[in-house]
């Protein structure tokens, strides 16, 4: 089970002093921290599967924070929450980043507790997203073991339909439905229609 102990706070800022200061703050608070001087260094390191939070400077050479946000948004492999840090108060820029999915937009210098609270919220969101993704992947993997007919039966079971009703809708005998129900439960390692429903919901099939 993924939890906040698995989370990493990623810091991307070309200001050495700011990067060190932020890393010290979060390390002192008990977080795992990785700091990068450029967006490219971050992209070369991050694999898209680690939950946590990205503290991102807006204005950086070569690739800005906004460009990095766009790059991450275009990748299906990550949904890392982003908190922007800017030394320039710009309402239009803040609105732009938030519309693109950023968790927060904070101005430098920022009070330590405000920053810690913002990161805590972002990490909680990231961990929850990672758990849902893993549950969905596990459910899809389990369902892939079913035959097409067993999958049909599972969907109808999830609707609360009795074997007699399923048999009529699929045009097969009730005895055949019972066999499919048994095989479905055995393959999925489940014991009730309610459990089948939960698995189908986790997979996105319902």
131 and 193: one domain?
no
131 and 156: one domain?
no
Residue 89's pLDDT is: 65
Number of domains in the chain: 2
Among 49, 50, 36, CA closest to 5: 50
Mean pLDDT over all residues of the chain?
86
62 and 158: one domain?
no
167 and 120: one domain?
no
122 and 152: one domain?
no
132 and 149: one domain?
no
Query: Residue 48: what are its φ and ψ, rounded to 5°?
Result: 85, 0
Which CATH number does the domain housing residue 181 bear? 1.10.10.10
pLDDT in tens, 105-156: 888 888 999 999 999 999 988 888 777 777 777 778 888 889 999 999 999 9
Contact 117, 110 (CB under 8 A): no
How would residue 24 be classed by pLDDT, with cut points 50, 70 and 90? Answer: very high
Q: Give the range of the structural domain holding residue 150, as residue numbers without chain letter.
A: 145-203
Whether the per-residue pLDDT at 94 is higher than 50: the answer is: yes
40 and 125: one domain?
yes
Match 């949904």 to its residue by tokens.
79
Q: Domain boundary at 116, 137, 158, which?
A: 137
Which CATH number does the domain housing residue 124 bear? 3.40.50.2300
pTM: 0.66
């Amino acid at each position: 089970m993924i939890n906040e102990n698995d989370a990493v706070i990623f810091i991307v800022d070309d200001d050495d002093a700011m990067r060190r200061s932020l890393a010290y703050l979060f390390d002192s608070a008990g977080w795992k921290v990785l700091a990068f001087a450029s967006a490219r260094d971050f992209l070369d390191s991050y694999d898209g599967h680690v939950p946590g939070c990205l503290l991102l400077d807006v204005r950086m050479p070569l690739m800005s924070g906004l460009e990095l946000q766009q790059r991450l948004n275009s990748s299906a492999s990550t949904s890392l929450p982003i908190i922007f840090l800017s030394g320039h108060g710009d309402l239009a820029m803040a609105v732009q980043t938030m519309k693109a999915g950023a968790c927060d937009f904070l101005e430098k210098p920022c009070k330590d507790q405000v920053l810690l609270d913002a990161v805590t919220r972002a990490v909680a969101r990231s961990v929850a997203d990672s758990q849902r993704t893993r549950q969905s992947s596990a459910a899809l993997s389990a369902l892939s073991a079913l035959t097409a007919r067993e999958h049909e039966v599972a969907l109808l079971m999830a609707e609360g339909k009795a074997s007699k009703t399923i048999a009529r809708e699929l045009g097969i005998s009730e005895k055949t439905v019972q066999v499919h129900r048994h095989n479905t439960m055995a393959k999925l390692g489940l014991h009730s229609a309610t459990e089948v429903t939960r698995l189908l919901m986790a997979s996105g099939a319902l």
